[in-house]
Amino acid sequence: MEHVISVLVENNPGVLARVAGLFSARGYNIESLSVAPTPDATVSMITVVTSGDEVIIEQIMKQLNKVIEVLKVVDLTEEDHIERETALIKILTKQAQQRDEAIRIAEIFRANIVDSTPQTYTFEVSGDAGKIQAVINRLKPMGIKEIVRTGRIAIARDAL
């Protein structure tokens, strides 16, 4: 099963290599990985999406915790949480008819068209993995030129 794990780490050079190296050395999957600063400049947040059975996920959590520069590890899959990913999708829109269609799709999925040239539109779409896949599927017939995705990030929902 897929697990989204957030890993709070010291903002030191080499920390990402330590975390990524741990996954590769022990043969754990990384389906996506994102790193970003946090409001505390000394700390960064790594979000890893991985998969494995219960025993493997337990090992992954423990192994991550064992890294000296790791401060906190949370398996968000175990709690109520929100996941987001952003994709930038560049499509071919040579004909006017395609442009109209693209705008309609953007409206339906609440995506933004953030750039345009005579031949292309660039979509920005944000949501969970399912939504992004749906947009990609809809745009595919028009001809996708390029897709760039951020990888997933997630945050726990607080209890009311």
Q: By CB under 8 A, is residue 71 in contact with another protein?
A: yes
Q: Is 62 in the site for another protein (CB under 8 A)?
A: yes
C-beta separation of 32 from 148 below 8 A: no
Place of tokens 């109209």: 100
Please report where in the chains the tokens 């896949």 appear, as a residue: 133
Two tokens, residue 12: 């030191």
In 48-157, alpha helices (H): 54-66, 96-108, 129-139
69 binds another protein (CB under 8 A): yes
- Least distance from another protein to the Cβ atom of residue 25, Å: 5
List CB contacts of 52: < 8 A, sequence separation 6 or more: 1, 3, 28, 29, 60
Q: Which of 1, 25, 41, 160 binds another protein (CB under 8 A)?
A: 25
Residue 68 touches another protein, criterion: CB under 8 A: yes
The strand pair at 120-127 and 81-92 is best described as antiparallel
Residue among 70, 135, 142, 153 that touches another protein (CB under 8 A): 70
Interface pattern 103-142 for another protein (x via CB under 8 A):
----------------------------------------
CB of 122 to another protein, least distance (A): 35
CB-count exposure of residue 117 (10 Å: 0-12, 13-18, 19+): exposed
The residues binding another protein (CB under 8 A) are: 9-10, 13-14, 17-18, 21, 25, 55, 58-59, 62-63, 65-71
